[in-house]
Structures are given as C-alpha cells and as structure tokens.
Amino acid sequence: MVWVLSIGPDRHFKWLESAESRQVKNYLFGEAGDRLPEAQAHWSAMRGAIETVGDEDLTMEFLRLACCVLYGATRERDVMDRVESNARGKGEAIRLLSFFGELSTDYAAILNPDHPKWNGYDESVMKSVEIIKGLGVTQIRPLMLSIARHFAPAHTTNAFRRMLAWSIRFLIVGGRGGKLDEGYARLANEIHKDVIKSDTDLVEAARSFVPSDAQFTGAFETARVSVSRLARYYLRALELTARGEANPEFIPNDGLAINLEHVLALGDADRQSVETHGQRLGNLALLQADKNSQIGNADFPTKRAVYAQSSFLLTSQIGELLSWGVLEIEQRQKTLAGLAVKTWPLD
C-alpha cells in the first residue's frame, strides 16, 4: 500500500487516499450513477471523521473493519471483493456509503477516549478506550466498532470493560493472529445481525473463544514481559488489586515517576538463571525513580532494604525475603497470577 503526502496552503500535512481505497471509492461512485453527489457527500463525511484520528491514511483499515462488522472476517485485500459483491446498483451503493459515513464517527471514537460520542457514557468507557489503545491492541477493533455502533450506553460500559480484560488475557496467553481476527470479527458481525443483543449475550458468545481462568492463570505464572509499558501496566493494576481497591484495571500507564526494577541480576545469580527468569513478571517490581537511582546495580541484600521501604505493597513484600532467586521468582509470579484473574475477570 502506498500513501501520498500532500501539504495544503495552510502548511498542514494531509494524507491522500491510498490506491486501494480509491479503487473502492471509484467503484461505488460508478454504481451511484445519477446519485453521485450524494455518494460523494457520504464519502467525504467518512474521510473527514477518519482524518481526525491521526496523521496517516487509515481509510483502508476502516473499510476492512466496516466489512468485518457487516459480513464477518475480512482481510484488507478482500475489501474490494466484499464491496463489489454487496453493492450492485445505485441503491445498494448509496446504502453502503451511508453506512460508512455513519460508522466512521464510531471508528474515530474507539481510537480517541476524548471523542464527543462518549459524553453520554460512563467514564469507564473512555478509560477502556484509552488503555486498550495504549496497550497497542488492534485486532479487537471490529468488535469495539460494532459495540459502539449498536449497543446502548449501559451495555457498552460492561462490554468495553470485558474487552479490556480479554485483551490482557490474549496478550498473556497468546493467540494466533488468524484466530483472533476471525473470533472478534464473528462477534462483531453477530452484534450487527442482532444475534448478540447485550453485554451478557456477548460474554456468553465469547466464552469458548476467550482464554479461561485456568488458561490465563497457567500462562500468567510463567509469563515473560519484555515490553516495559506492558509490565508497568500489569504491575500497577495488580498493585491496586492487592490493596483491595476498586477498578484496578483502569490505572493509567503514566503520571508518576515509576521505574521498572529487575530484581534478579547477574551479581545475584548465574547467567542461565538471569536469562530464563530475568524477564519473568515475578522478577519485575515497581519502584519510585529516586529510589531506583539509589540502588543502581547493587546486590539483593543491599536492595532489599530499599524494597522493604517502598510504598508499593507488591514491592515491599520482596524486601521481606532474605534471598532472591529462581524459586522466589516463581512463587511470587504464582501470587501475581492469582491477583491477575481478579484484576481482569471474564464476567
């Protein structure tokens, strides 16, 4: 796919449509016949909403997601075939373009927690959108889009909360890309077809698709996390659960000056232990930046005193131990796994 960058008179950058999206547009405009002005208005409305999202052309991504909602799992290269098969003649072409124009507002909303659409919704919806976006999760977007389009605000609140939990479960357990794409697209399409009518229906429909508590716990007990922003989010949410606070999954991944501390280091163990367990979540701890700078690369006996004084409960618990090695890491991670099921529940 090739994008062309245009610089307008106001010196603002604007991404022009890709060749693929122009092909879809030209087909629909051709089918519109004497209703071309109406078709052009719908397309312009769609493009306008998409352009509010960012500084790259996301038209084809949107069109693929829209096709997932309408028809089920769709790859980007299959969008044109979907459009040609379902929009023959001016009436069908205009209906499809009208749907694209309306759905594009919801698309902009699922990528922007501050979008005006969410003004009438519970604050947790905006937090879910913010965190899912921050996690870099994209395969769930067809389902988010269909829920934003079809569910009432109360059902959207519960559904988005569940989708955040499902996203974490798949990040930890893993999953083949095709399986995730097909599963989320199936659910999105069933919502559109009114097979799934509520958040309760959605949870039941997804039960065989989303990792179970047993699968999630088992994977969490051995999870290695090399991406710092993910590890920080996991540990901050688990910290709130350990403290018994409400809505721990909505903790933002910014604000405080918090460092990610790798407890086990080469000075404390052999290289093999560090290689196998150094990135385990059980070996990672949150520490205020000023505290982290104090200990540097000190050995565990030196660091444990700093850990013990930490305001983070899960970090201070490490400071209560006399030694730190593979066994301690594995035991701590089992404890964290127990908290994880409560933090990101299925129901």
Question: Model confidence at 256, in pLDDT bands (50, 70, 90)?
Answer: low
Of residues 11 and 305, more confidently modeled: 305
Q: Are 220 and 333 in contact (CB under 8 A)?
A: yes
User: Are 233 and 284 contacting, i.e. CB atoms less than 8 angstroms apart?
Assistant: no
Amino acid identity at 270: D
Mean pLDDT taken over the chain: 90
For 22-78, the pLDDT digits (tens) are 999 999 999 999 999 999 999 999 999 999 987 678 999 999 999 999 999 999 999
pLDDT for res 258:
84
Q: Tokens representing 324?
A: 């730190």
Which residues of the chain form beta strands (DSSP E)?
5-7, 13-15, 258-262, 284-288
The pLDDT value given to residue 266: 59
The predicted model gives 1-21 an average pLDDT of: 55
| Tokens, residue 132 | 């899912």
**From 149-163, 226-240, 260-274, the region with the lowest mean pLDDT:** 260-274
In this predicted model, what pLDDT tens digit does every residue of 108-141 receive, in sequence order? Answer: 999 999 999 999 999 999 999 999 999 999 999 9
pTM of the entire structure? 0.89
Instruction: Give the whole-angstrom CA distance, residue 77 versus residue 95.
Output: 22
Give yes or no for a contact between 94 and 88, defined as CB atoms under 8 angstroms apart. Answer: no
Predicted confidence (pLDDT) per residue in 182-220, tens digit: 999 999 999 999 999 999 999 999 998 999 999 999 999
**pLDDT number for residue 56:** 76
Give the pLDDT of residue 218.
98
The CA distances from residue 54 to 10, 49, 59, 113, 278, in Å, are: 17, 10, 11, 14, 37
d(CA 83, CA 24): 7
Cα distances (Å, whole numbers) of residue 128 to 16, 66, 113, 153, 248:
31, 21, 8, 14, 12
pLDDT attached to residue 317? 97
